[in-house]
Amino acid sequence: MSAKVRKEGTSLESVSQDTGELLDEVRIETDDVRSKANAVFGSKVPLWLKIAIPIALIAIFVVSFSVGRFPISPGELVKTLSNGIAHHVGALFGNDIPIADERMYTVVFKIRLPRVLVVILTGAALAVSGASYQGMFKNPLVSPDLLGASAGASVGACLGLLLNMPTIVIQLWAFVGGLTAVGMAVWLNKFVKYDATLGLVLGGILVSTLFQSGMSLIKFMADGDDKLPSITFWLMGSFSSINSRDFWLILLPMAVGFALLLLECWKLNVLSFGDEEARSMGINTARTRLIVIFASTLLTSVTVAVAGIVGWIGLVIPHLARALVGPNYRVLLPTSMFVGSGFLLIVDDIARLLTTVEIPIGILTAILGVPFFVFIFKRNMKGWS
Amino acid sequence: MLEVKDLRAGYYKKEVVHGVSFTVERGEFVCIIGSNGCGKTTILKNLLGLIKPFGGQVTLDGKDALTMNDRERAQHFAYIPQAHTPPFPFTVADVVIMGRTPYVNRMATVSEKDKTIAFRALRQLSIDHLADHVYTKLSGGQQQLVLIARALAQQPDLLVMDEPTASLDFGNQQLVLSQMKKLTQQGMSVLMVTHDPDHALFCADKVLVMENGRLIATGTPAEVITKENLERIYDSKVCIRDIVTDEGEQVRVAIPLL
């Protein structure tokens, strides 16, 4: 460094003698700065990870098709998939390509495909909203139901179950319940006019408590022989009754949520330094917070609506992703989505394989999530406060 | 360059700053001194747009600074907070590139220009070798330099600092202040709130002495950091001495008498 400075100094002195030489010197200096700047601020994610993560996800995706009560060999899977796709594409152009094996087609396209896709979306949604919340609340121990999204969605769904509503209505109520609870937390924060982020946490705790009592009340009133078990079972989370309608139902809100959060990734980096600093760097923090809360709530409520409560993903996966690629949200958010999808796919496969009666997914994510979390936390405490 | 006229400000309904006027010229190092709670920080918060003033004018090169939006304001005013630890282990490069926030577009694509400017900021403070280090594991002084580099990456007209050295040890205080002084010699303007009159004596071109939300004196450090003024604002006994350093330089120091 000091040698460099001295070199520049001498060229400055020779300015009157040879301006051309100085200009060359300056040009070299800028090129040098530019290349170094690119090296310093370029992506620091190792190439093997960029390749390994998507490949791992694809591998898990394929395996998830094959395993279950009705095992499918890779060969059969490829045959059924290509035949099924040809059938559907053919139908678009008026060609009728018959389905070779009706039974196989039903398993792959009507049962496994929607299930796998919904699991992927759910895992990504919970992980990405958890990661976003951890940055926004400047706290690595926060999960996406901090502001009451899960509690609200549960109350909505349980009410629907209690009143014997059709599935679609239950899902809608869960969604509305989640949004209502978080809306109340946001409103409480405005009402008490306390510290912007702490006020939100306070509001979230109050609203969660309120809705949890509401849920207890519903359980208390529910018929113990029939309603109560179905409510309890639903709250534990499950993908066993997913069909393709569920997938299409959640696709749009999920896409909106993902897009909103991914667009805020830069601001999430800055926001994790605190409100005042973020504002002094030109961020409209109030608006950013609302966008992140809205998107995360959308994602969480939708997952609760189709699959019940799937805990721990939103807390654990961001940490795993951070251990892999670092805390920069521009890389962390997409990585969280990949890792969340992969993790939940594996857990769902285990749920399908382990016993003849499927273990509720929420129980498994917690049982697997806790040791996992301890492991990551122990290995990656360095640099954390 | 910066002109603050009759600024009145406070929190909720309570006025803390009662009509303060001052200017900061390009390349000028201005320090505000005053006791706790006299309104020093409130002035900074107004300049940074964190709170809205009750009255008065703030103009930057004749342009109204109070009506700027967050993004526009961040292109003119940069805030250097006290070094503190964010919850995640960002690298120094991650932190410094954040200074480009008021310039990046909606998709947050970092251009080559952004990278070059951020790198120059690192180099200006001679911390380019720290770029890959984890920010949270640096010493307090190094963290402070990184935050200064981040502020420089904003390409501001004015650096605003609120007691940047408060949590630093003796050597790191010196490191940070001498870097700040060097920046003003290169043409950057600095407005700094400080608790320590010696810091103002060491680096300020102009000192604003505040008491209960009003300026009681404005001028060069030699003019306004006097026994009378210090004893008045801090309500304590002070001794001011001109001394000659080992290098033969004449400096003034303020010594609190216990």
Residue B108 one-letter amino acid: A
* pLDDT reported for residue A23: 59
The closest of B101, B120, B93 to A42, measured between CA atoms, is B93
Pick the residue from chain B with its C-alpha nearest to A138: B87
For helices A285-307 and A196-221, what crossing angle results, to 10°? 20
Residue A168 pLDDT greater than 90, yes or no? no
Structure tokens at A313: 């993903």
Residue A239 one-letter amino acid: F
The closest of A370, A376, A318, A341 to A135, measured between CA atoms, is A318
Count of domains forming chain A: 1
The upper half-sphere exposure of residue B44, i.e. CA atoms within 13 Å in the direction of its Cβ, equals 27
Q: Tell me what the mean pLDDT of segment A323-350 comes to.
A: 93
* pLDDT reported for residue A334: 94
Residue B233 belongs to some domain of the structure: no
Q: Tell me what the mean pLDDT of segment B165-184 comes to.
A: 89
User: How close A285 comes to chain B (CA, Å)?
Assistant: 9
B70 and B5 within one domain: yes
- B51 and A CB contact within 8 Å: no
Measured between alpha carbons, how far is A69 from A355 in angstroms, rounded to an integer?
Answer: 10
pLDDT digits (tens, 9 = 90+) for B184-239: 999 999 999 998 899 999 899 999 999 999 999 999 999 999 999 999 999 889 99
What is the side-by-side strand order in the sheet with B29-34?
Answer: B77-80, B158-162, B189-193, B29-34, B206-211, B214-219
Residue A179 one-letter amino acid: L
B134 and B172 within one domain: no
B99 and B37 within one domain: no
Residue A16 belongs to some domain of the structure: no
Higher-pLDDT residue of B12 and B94 is B94
pLDDT digits (tens, 9 = 90+) for A187-216: 998 888 777 778 888 899 999 999 999 999
- B70 and A CB contact within 8 Å: yes
Q: What 8-state DSSP symbol labels residue A163?
A: T
| Position A164 confidence tier, pLDDT thresholds 50, 70, 90 | confident
Q: How far lies B62's CA from each of A300, B3, B25, B157, in Å?
A: 49, 8, 12, 13
Structure tokens at B136: 């949270």
Domain residues for the domain of B163 are 1-76+156-220
- How many contacts does A have with B, using Cβ atoms within 8 A? 136
Picking from A262, A280, A319 by the largest number of B CB atoms within 10 A of its own CB, the best residue to mutate is A280
Decide: helix, strand or coil at residue B15: strand
CATH assignment of the domain containing A257: 1.10.3470.10
Higher-pLDDT residue of B98 and A369 is B98
**What is the pLDDT of chain A when averaged over all its residues?**
85
The string over A305-325, giving b where at least 16 C-beta atoms fall within 10 Å of a residue's C-beta and e elsewhere, is bbbbbbbbbbbbbbbbbbebb
Residue A103 belongs to some domain of the structure: no
Share of chain B above pLDDT 90, in %: 66
The closest of A321, A314, A322 to A339, measured between CA atoms, is A321
Q: Tell me what the mean pLDDT of segment A110-134 comes to.
A: 94
B161 and B145 within one domain: no
CATH assignment of the domain containing B41: 3.40.50.300
Residue B227 belongs to some domain of the structure: no
Residue B70 belongs to some domain of the structure: yes
B149 and B106 within one domain: yes
**Burial of B252 by CB count in 10 Å (0-12 exposed, 13-18 middle, 19+ buried)?**
middle
Q: Tell me what the mean pLDDT of segment A335-346 comes to.
A: 95
Decide: helix, strand or coil at residue B54: coil
pLDDT digits (tens, 9 = 90+) for A269-328: 999 998 899 999 999 999 999 999 999 999 998 998 889 889 889 989 998 898 889 899
User: How close A55 comes to chain B (CA, Å)?
Assistant: 26
Is the distance from CB of A180 to CB of A240 less than 8 angstroms? no
Residue A102 pLDDT greater than 60, yes or no? yes
pLDDT digits (tens, 9 = 90+) for A20-73: 565 565 566 677 788 888 888 888 788 888 899 999 999 999 899 888 888 888
* pLDDT reported for residue A38: 85
B149 and B115 within one domain: yes
* pLDDT reported for residue A4: 42
- A130 and B CB contact within 8 Å: no
Residue A195 belongs to some domain of the structure: yes
**Burial of A33 by CB count in 10 Å (0-12 exposed, 13-18 middle, 19+ buried)?**
middle
Measured between alpha carbons, how far is A78 from A61 in angstroms, rounded to an integer?
Answer: 13
* pLDDT reported for residue A384: 47
The closest of A107, A160, A57 to A352, measured between CA atoms, is A107
Residue B20 one-letter amino acid: V
Phi, psi angles (nearest 5°) of residue B33: -120, 155
Pick the residue from chain A with its C-alpha nearest to B118: A37
The closest of A147, A216, A156 to A183, measured between CA atoms, is A147
Residue B24 pLDDT greater than 50, yes or no? yes
Residue B249 belongs to some domain of the structure: no
The closest of B124, B130, B100, B126 to B112, measured between CA atoms, is B100
Q: What 8-state DSSP symbol labels residue B98?
A: G
Residue B125 belongs to some domain of the structure: yes
- B140 and A CB contact within 8 Å: no
B121 and B169 within one domain: no
B174 and B58 within one domain: yes
User: How close A262 comes to chain B (CA, Å)?
Assistant: 9
Is the distance from CB of A304 to CB of A157 less than 8 angstroms? yes
B1 and B72 within one domain: yes
Measured between alpha carbons, how far is A353 from A357 in angstroms, rounded to an integer?
Answer: 9
Residue A265 belongs to some domain of the structure: yes
| Position B73 confidence tier, pLDDT thresholds 50, 70, 90 | very high
Contact residues on chain A for B77, CB-CB shorter than 8 A: 280
B61 and B16 within one domain: yes
B48 and B99 within one domain: no
| Position A18 confidence tier, pLDDT thresholds 50, 70, 90 | low
* pLDDT reported for residue B150: 95
* pLDDT reported for residue A2: 43
**What is the pLDDT of chain B when averaged over all its residues?**
91
| Position A241 confidence tier, pLDDT thresholds 50, 70, 90 | confident
Is the distance from CB of B91 to CB of B137 less than 8 angstroms? no
Phi-psi region of A366 (alpha: psi -120 to 50; beta: other; left: phi over 0): alpha
Residue A140 pLDDT greater than 50, yes or no? yes
Count of domains forming chain B: 2
Decide: helix, strand or coil at residue B252: strand
User: How close A384 comes to chain B (CA, Å)?
Assistant: 6
Decide: helix, strand or coil at residue A91: helix
Residue A86 belongs to some domain of the structure: no
Task: Round the CA-based radius of gyration of chain A to a whole number and report it.
Answer: 26
* pLDDT reported for residue A11: 44
* pLDDT reported for residue A42: 82
Residue B252 belongs to some domain of the structure: no
Measured between alpha carbons, how far is A137 from A296 in angstroms, rounded to an integer?
Answer: 13
Q: How far lies A134's CA from each of A19, B88, B124, B244, in Å?
A: 54, 9, 33, 53
Measured between alpha carbons, how far is B6 from B43 in angstroms, rounded to an integer?
Answer: 11
The closest of A102, A122, A103, A147 to A290, measured between CA atoms, is A147
Residue B255 belongs to some domain of the structure: no
Share of chain A above pLDDT 90, in %: 37
Decide if B87 and A138 are in contact by the 8 Å CB cutoff.
yes
B67 and B166 within one domain: yes
CB contact residues (below 8 A), chain B span 227-256, against chain A: none
Q: Tell me what the mean pLDDT of segment B240-248 comes to.
A: 89
Residue B171 one-letter amino acid: G
Structure tokens at B190: 């600095």
Is the distance from CB of B195 to CB of B32 less than 8 angstroms? no
Residue B131 belongs to some domain of the structure: yes
